[in-house]
Amino acid sequence: MNQILPARFLAVVFETFPKDFMSRAPEDLEEYGKDWTRLYPPAPSAVVFPRTTDEIARFVRLCTEHRIAVVPSGGRTGLAGGAVAVRGEVVLSLSKMNRMDPVDPVAQTVRVQAGAVTEAVHQHCAPHGLIWPVDFAAKGSSHIGGNISTNAGGVRVIQYGSTRQWVLGLQVVTMSGDVLELNGALEKNNTGIDLKHLFIGSEGILGIITEATLKLTRLPGALDLFFFAVEDMAAVLRLFHHVRKAPFGIMAFETMTHNCLEIVTQSLGLKFPVEQRSGAYVLFEAIRPASADAQQIMDGWLEELFEKQLVLDGTLAQSPREARELWMMREGIAESLFKKAFLHKNDVSVPISEQDEFVNRMFRMFSSRHSDLEVYMWGHIGDGNLHINTLMPSGMSRDEFLKRCHDADRDLFTLIQEFHGSISAEHGVGLLKKDALHFSRTPQEIALFKAIKKAFDPEGLLNPGKIF
Ligand SMILES: Cc1cc2nc3c(=O)[nH]c(=O)nc-3n(C[C@H](O)[C@H](O)[C@H](O)COP(=O)(O)OP(=O)(O)OC[C@H]3O[C@@H](n4cnc5c(N)ncnc54)[C@H](O)[C@@H]3O)c2cc1C
């Protein structure tokens, strides 16, 4: 049901907020009503651009008074339809709230407004030898508030864990207009329930994150980036078992099937990174040991890989430019596939110890029951997270493709359920996965979700219809 903004509501907005606070320009409604899923026709009734927490508190109080639904919006790189406005909601964009306070090099923290862009935070911290270690392809556009609301993962989870590990405190505005300061900059605070964790990963349905105190860590030492060709996905997992025992730290362990590498190299005009065409590839980043015999350690380890035939071919980035190109082959996959044809995405996870069995069963399931759908798989295999995607075959209508994907999803999610996995490892639920939530969450858990939502947003006005 679309909401129409009442004249009395608009009159208060125009009288008490800055001139450029609200936009109803068609291009803004189009732009701010959608996210990266590109699946939902945008239909917000307005977009607001607050500059301060106080403006947000006053605005949402007014919305509650007039029963106006609000969608918090970050960089709109989300892949689950969490930030889309499809029923006339007002989009509340944090894009003008991007202040970053000075880095505290002793506490190793930084307080930023929620609209700070992820990569800008990295750049802000780097001169101090520090990093906020959440890192992924959309970092040039995504916001800290969006990262926190989706508990973003990315390519460094194997070393650092997800966003949740790197947030000390939050400032949040609830729909009643209350401003909550949750945990400030405290490392230790065992005074009951740590409410900030309810906001991390809850996709903007409980409150609007306005500021965050981020925990930082030292930039890692020298990194070596390898690209390996291996026979198939089973070989990727064998290599992973071996890498886990390596005498150095692992910064990233990413994989992709051959069809992904073929499309991304073509689309980005990049040279195929290895001689050998094979079933699967691994992008592996190692933290070089600080010891004097580091080179010897790495050389010995590499020799063993080939001796044990764990890899068929490989290359080591020899310069920052080569490293960037290899990363583009991993990070450019989604965009390259999107360009080729309509893409159906899944982002799932299973326990790391069961990945081998899961991957095996998943491919068998597709070839026996959905052989007309070709699987394009890539992911952060080091943390059990796989992106399982299918491209619309040429000659198939979009409706037919979606119907077949829906059938395949049911089988995939049933398999995920059997493995006690997650139907959404890092992208969230939003609108896209809410009908499948029951594959990963019990009725009791969903009832608790609803009770928590009611406690923070009794009128159901904040990001309505998302997650459940
Ligand atoms: C090419 C590409 C690669 C990606 N790779 C990864 C990856 O490796 N790992 C990963 O985890 N994700 C990945 N993503 C998904 C996406 O970038 C992340 O989910 C990111 O954290 C979203 O941030 P955002 O600012 O764009 O949020 P948005 O898309 O704007 O919003 C996401 C959700 O957060 C809510 N929200 C946003 N800001 C606030 C706020 N201040 N307060 C309350 N709620 C808020 C929105 O309502 C919505 O529900 C990728 C996306 C793309 C396009």
Q: How far apart are CA 125 and CA 127, in angstroms?
A: 6
C-alpha triplet 403, 399, 358: angle, nearest 5°: 35
Amino acid making up residue 388:
I
Domain with CATH 3.30.465.10 in the chain: 109-218
The DSSP letter of residue 171 is: E
To test ligand 1's pocket by mutation, which of 97, 150, 256, 468 has the most ligand atoms within 8 angstroms of CB? 150
Q: What is the mean pLDDT of residues 187-203?
A: 97
Helices 53-65 & 7-16 angle (0-180, nearest 10) = 160
Ligand 1: residue whose CA is nearest its atom 36: 146
For the segment 171-175, the average pLDDT, to the nearest whole number, is 98
pLDDT cut 90: percent of the chain above it: 95
Q: Whose CA is nearest to atom 50 of ligand 1?
A: 138
**Arithmetic mean of pLDDT, 73-93:** 98
Percent of the chain with pLDDT over 70: 100
E-assigned strands of 55-207?
70-73, 90-93, 109-113, 130-131, 167-173, 179-182
Of 86, 5, 81, nearest to 42 by C-alpha is: 86
b/e burial code for range 56-78 (CB count within 10 A of at least 16 → b): bbbbbbbbbeeebbbbbbbbbbb
Distance 399 CA to ligand 1 centre (A): 27
pLDDT at 257: 97
Residue 1 has pLDDT above 80, yes or no: no
Q: What is the pLDDT of residue 2?
A: 64
Q: Does residue 371 register a pLDDT over 80?
A: yes
Residue nearest atom 53 of ligand 1, based on CA coordinates: 77
pLDDT at 268 over 60: yes
| Highest-pLDDT range among 36-40, 147-151, 247-251, 331-335 | 147-151
Mean of all residue pLDDT scores within the chain: 96
Say which CATH topology domain 7-96 has. Answer: 3.30.43
Q: Which fold has domain 109-218?
A: 3.30.465
Tell me, what amino acid is at 112?
Answer: V
Fold for the domain defined by 341-444: Alpha-Beta Plaits (3.30.70)
What span, in angstroms and rounded, lies between the C-alpha atoms of 99 and 113?
5
Phi, psi of 364, deg, nearest 5: -65, -40
Q: How far apart are CA 260 and CA 281, in angstroms?
A: 10
pLDDT for the residue numbered 3: 75
* Nearest CA among 317, 241, 234, 238 for reference residue 283: 317
Q: What is the pLDDT of residues 404-427, one digit of tens each?
A: 999 999 999 999 999 999 999 999
**Mean pLDDT, residues 194-200:** 98
Q: What is the CA radius of gyration of the chain?
A: 23
Residue minimizing CA distance to atom 20 of ligand 1: 147
312 vs 28, 126, 301, CA distance in Å? 51, 37, 15
CB 170 within 8 A of CB 209: yes
Written out in words, the top-level CATH class of the domain with range 223-321 is: alpha beta
- Where in the chain are all domains bearing CATH 3.30.70.2190? 223-321
Q: Is 110 left (phi over 0), alpha (psi -120 to 50) or beta?
A: beta
Q: Which residues of the chain are in CATH 3.30.43.10 domains?
A: 7-96
Pairing type for strands 208-215 and 167-173 reads antiparallel
Q: Which atom of ligand 1 is nearest to the CA of 114?
A: 41
Pocket test for ligand 1, best of 149, 253, 347 (most atoms within 8 A of CB): 149
| Pocket of ligand 1 contains residue 208 by CB under 6 Å | yes
> Is any ligand 1 atom within 6 A of the Cβ of residue 134?
no
Q: Is the pLDDT of residue 147 over 80?
A: yes
Verify whether ligand 1 is closer than 6 Å to residue 467 (CB atom): no
pLDDT at 173 over 60: yes
Residue-wise pLDDT tens digits, 298-344:
999 999 999 999 999 999 999 999 999 999 999 999 999 999 999 99
How many angstroms separate the CA atoms of 70 and 209, rounded?
Answer: 13
Q: What would the mean pLDDT of 238-243 be, rounded to a whole number?
A: 94
Cα-based torsion angle of the residue sequence 184, 188, 190, 195 in order, rounded to the nearest 10 degrees: 40
Give the residue among 146, 372, 340 at the shortest CA–CA distance from 260. 340
In short, whether 83's Cβ falls inside 6 Å of ligand 1 is yes
Q: Single out the residue of 23, 2, 5 nearest to residue 66, CA to CA.
A: 5
Whole-angstrom Cα distance, residue 87 to residue 412? 30
β-bridge pairing 46-48 and 90-93: parallel
The Cα diameter of the chain in Å comes to 76
Global pTM? 0.96
Calculate mean pLDDT across residues 340-369. 95
User: Is any atom of ligand 1 closer than 6 Å to the C-beta of 117?
Assistant: no
DSSP 424: B
| pLDDT at site 423 | 98
Closest by alpha carbon to 28, among 46, 41, 14?
Answer: 46
In whole angstroms, give the CA distance from residue 31 to residue 47. Answer: 10
Given a contact cutoff of 8 angstroms between Cβ atoms, the answer to whether 103 and 94 are in contact is no
pLDDT confidence band for 174 (50 / 70 / 90) = very high
CA distance 343 to 405: 10
Are 463 and 430 in contact by the 8 Å Cβ rule? The answer is: no
Work out the average pLDDT over 442-449: 98
pLDDT of residue 289: 87
Tens digits of residue pLDDT in 269-304: 999 999 989 999 999 999 998 888 989 999 999 999
List, as one string, the DSSP characters of 259-312: HHHHHHHHHHTPPPSSS---SEEEEEEEE--SSTTHHHHHHHHHHHHHHTTS-S
